[in-house]
Structure formats: structure tokens, C-alpha cells
Amino acid sequence: MITSIKLRKVNSSGLAGDIGAIMMLADFYGIEMSSALKWSVEQRLLELSKARMMVWSGESVMVLANDLHGMPLGMILYTTTDDKTIRRIDALFVIEKFRGKGISTKLLQAIKEDKDFHTYATPSSVGWYEKNGFRVLRNHPEGTVEMTTAGGEPNYEYTVRVPIPSEMDNKFIEKMKKFEEERAKLGKV
């Protein structure tokens, strides 16, 4: 167990300049989830933008685990719902080198209060969640495993709905996809 870890709640209004928070989101959505769930470029950009917007709006809360020098080693991200007893965990991530040292356990404890949790886990993290009181509800075709700590079936709506991409977002995503394809052809990815 690492004791020299400091937890810091991300200040949503300063998100754009918060390098630690942006780095964690990019690592989680860009690298970890893309490879675990075989996400397309569109999906990666979508999820990353959605998470940023939700943290910025204050609907989602992000807590970073930093070392004593302020270097981020991990993060947890949850979204409040209209069911006051349940928090949905959207992201939980620790940089590979620092895994197995109790950082996630500390992050989960920090956001627990008196709430239950609901999440869509990656297959490789199911064992960790089970160790922390979650049970499997069901497997989903896109590769996630739905889990909860609640006794029954979680049944909630979001207080404010997660943004849906506009036509303009989709055009941008299409352009980014072409850009990445071009780079791949040149051997730059």
C-alpha cells in the first residue's frame, strides 16, 4: 500500500488548464479503453469529449491520485444520477507502473460516502471490482461487464443527460478519422 499519495478533486472550471486531469482522461480513453474494448477512432474521441464536458459541467466528478510532487498516478470519475443512493463509475485508471499498490482502493474509498456504485467494467478489471464488493449483473455485446454494489437492479436516470454528438461533431470526427488514416499510411501511428 502506498501511503505517499494525495487525492485531489478536479476543479471543473479549471479543467482546460489542468494537465493532470487531461493526461489521465487521454490515457484512460485514448489508450486503455481503446485497446480493451477495441474502440474506433470516433468512439475514442466521442468518449473523451463526453467525459470532458461532463466534468466541466460538474455532472461528473473526477478525483486524481497524485504523488507528493503532484504527478498524477491514477484517477476515478463518477457521475451523479437522480437516484441519490447510486453513483455511476465512468472511469477508474492507474498508470501501469503503479498498479497493485492500493491506489484504486484508496480512490474508491474516497468517493464512497454512503453510496452504492454501478459501472460497466473492462473484462480484465472484473476481479478487482469483485474484490471491492461489486457483483456481475450481465455482459454486454460491446465487451463491458455491468456490475454493481447495490442489492437490486440499479434503475436511474441522469439528472442532466450525457451530451449526444451534433452533426458538426460527427463531421469533425470524420475528418479526424481521415487524418489518422493518412498518418497510418505514412507509418506515423
Ligand X SMILES: CC(C)(COP(=O)(O)OP(=O)(O)OC[C@H]1O[C@@H](n2cnc3c(N)ncnc32)[C@H](O)[C@@H]1OP(=O)(O)O)[C@@H](O)C(=O)NCCC(=O)NCCS
Positions in the binding site for ligand X (CB under 6 A): 32, 36, 91-94, 99-105, 121-122, 124-125, 127-128, 131
Provide the minimum distance between the beta carbon of 91 and ligand X in the complex, in angstroms, as a whole number: 6
Rounded Cα distance between 105 and 160, Å, is 28
Q: Give me 36's grid cell.
A: 480493451
Instruction: Report CA-CA distances (Å) from 186 to 39, 176, 177.
Output: 22, 15, 14
Task: Report the nearest approach of ligand X to the CB of residue 172 (Å).
Answer: 26
Shorter beta-carbon distance to ligand X: residue 18 or 32:
32
State the nearest-atom distance from the C-beta of 21 to ligand X, in Å. Answer: 16
96: buried, middle or exposed (CB in 10 Å: 19+, 13-18, 0-12)? exposed
DSSP for residue 163: P
The closest of 163, 189, 157 to 47, measured between CA atoms, is 163
Q: Kindly tell me which of 80 and 122 has the beta carbon lying closer to ligand X.
A: 122
Non-local CB neighbours of 84 within 8 Å, separated by 6+ positions: none
Looking at the Cβ atoms of 56 and 128, the one nearer to ligand X is: 128
CA distance 153 to 101: 31
User: Least separation, in Å, of the C-beta of 25 and ligand X?
Assistant: 13
Q: Which is nearer to ligand X, 45 or 106 (CB)?
A: 106
* 66 three-class SS: strand
Query: Cβ of residue 31: shortest distance to ligand X, in angstroms?
Result: 9
Q: Kindly tell me which of 45 and 92 has the beta carbon lying closer to ligand X.
A: 92
